[in-house]
Chain A
Amino acid sequence: MAERATIILHSGDMDKVYSALIVGNGALSMGMDVTIYFTFWGLQRLKKGGLEKGKLSKMNMLGLGRSMVKSRMAKAGVADLEKLMSDYKELGGKIIACEMTMEVMGIKKEDLRLELIDEFGAVGTYVNDAKDSKITLFI
Chain B
Amino acid sequence: MAEIKIDCMGKNCPTPLVETRKALRKASKGDVIDIIGDHPASKKEIPIAVASLGQELLEIKEDGKTWHIRVRKVKE
A contact residues vs B (CB 8 Å cutoff): 22, 25-26, 28-31, 76-79, 87, 90-91
Contacts and interface: CB of A to CB of B under 8 A. Distances in A.
Interface of B is mostly: helix
Contacts of A26: 14, 17-18
29 contacts: A22-B14, A25-B18, A26-B17, A26-B18, A28-B21, A29-B14, A29-B17, A29-B18, A29-B20, A29-B21, A29-B49, A30-B48, A30-B49, A30-B52, A31-B21, A31-B49, A31-B53, A31-B54, A76-B12, A77-B12, A77-B15, A77-B39, A78-B13, A78-B15, A79-B12, A79-B15, A87-B18, A90-B22, A91-B25
B38 to A, nearest CB: 9
A87 B22 CA distance: 8
A30 B54 CA distance: 10
A22 B13 contact: yes
B64 interface: no
Given A30-B49, A30-B52, A77-B39, 19 more contacts: A22-B13, A26-B18, A29-B17, A29-B18, A29-B20, A29-B49, A30-B48, A30-B53, A31-B21, A31-B49, A31-B53, A31-B54, A77-B11, A77-B12, A79-B12, A79-B15, A87-B18, A91-B18, A91-B25
B52 A31 contact: yes
A28 B52 CA distance: 11
A25 B14 contact: yes
Contacts of B13: 22, 78
B75 to A, nearest CB: 11
Contacts of B48: 30
Q: Which 5 A-B pairs have the closest CB atoms?
A: A29-B21, A77-B12, A29-B17, A78-B12, A31-B53
Contacts of A29: 14, 17-18, 20-21, 49
Contacts of B22: 87, 90-91
